[in-house]
Amino acid sequence: MVQNNIAVIRGDGIGIEVVEEGIKVLDAVSENYDFELSFNEYPWSSKFYIDTGAMMPSDGLDILSNYDAIFLGAVGHPDIQDHITLNGLLLPIRRKFDQYVCERPSVLFDGIESPLSGKKPFDIDMVVIRENTEGEYANVGGFQYMDFPEEVGIQTGVFTRKGCERVIRYSFELARRRNKKKHLTSITKSNAQGYGMLVWDRAFERISAEYTDISTDSLLVDAAAMDFIRKPEFFDVVVASNLFGDILTDIAAIITGSMGLASSANLDPEGRYPSMFEPVHGSAPDIMGKGIANPMAQILTGAMLLRH
The tens digit of pLDDT for each residue in 17-63 reads 999 999 999 999 998 988 899 999 999 999 999 999 999 999 999 99
The tens digit of pLDDT for each residue in 73-129 reads 999 999 999 989 999 999 999 999 999 999 999 999 999 999 999 999 999 999 999
Q: Which segments within 203-298 are labelled E, that is strand?
A: 215-220, 237-240, 265-267, 275-277
> Could you write out the three-class secondary structure of 27-50?
HHHHHHCCCEEEEEECCCCHHHHH
Q: In terms of CATH, what superfamily is 100-267?
A: Isopropylmalate Dehydrogenase (3.40.718.10)
Determine the length of the chain.
308
Q: In terms of CATH, what superfamily is 1-99+269-308?
A: Isopropylmalate Dehydrogenase (3.40.718.10)
Q: What is the pLDDT of residue 34?
A: 84
Q: Which segments within 83-229 are labelled E, that is strand?
A: 101-107, 125-131, 135-144, 152-158, 183-188, 215-220
What is the DSSP pairing of strand 135-144 with strand 152-158? antiparallel
Domains 1-99+269-308 and 100-267 share a fold: yes
Q: What is the mean pLDDT of the chain?
A: 95
Tell me which DSSP letter residue 290 carries: T
What pTM did the predictor assign? Answer: 0.93
The ranges assigned to domains in the chain are: 1-99+269-308, 100-267
β-pair partners for 255: none
CA separation (Å) from 30 to 4, 23, 37, 98, 293?
10, 10, 7, 28, 25
Known catalytic residues?
Answer: 137, 189, 222, 246, 250
The tens digit of pLDDT for each residue in 187-246 reads 999 999 989 999 999 999 999 999 999 999 999 999 999 999 999 999 999 999 999 999
Q: What is the pLDDT of residue 1?
A: 64
Q: Which segments within the chain are labelled E, that is strand?
A: 3-11, 36-41, 69-74, 101-107, 125-131, 135-144, 152-158, 183-188, 215-220, 237-240, 265-267, 275-277
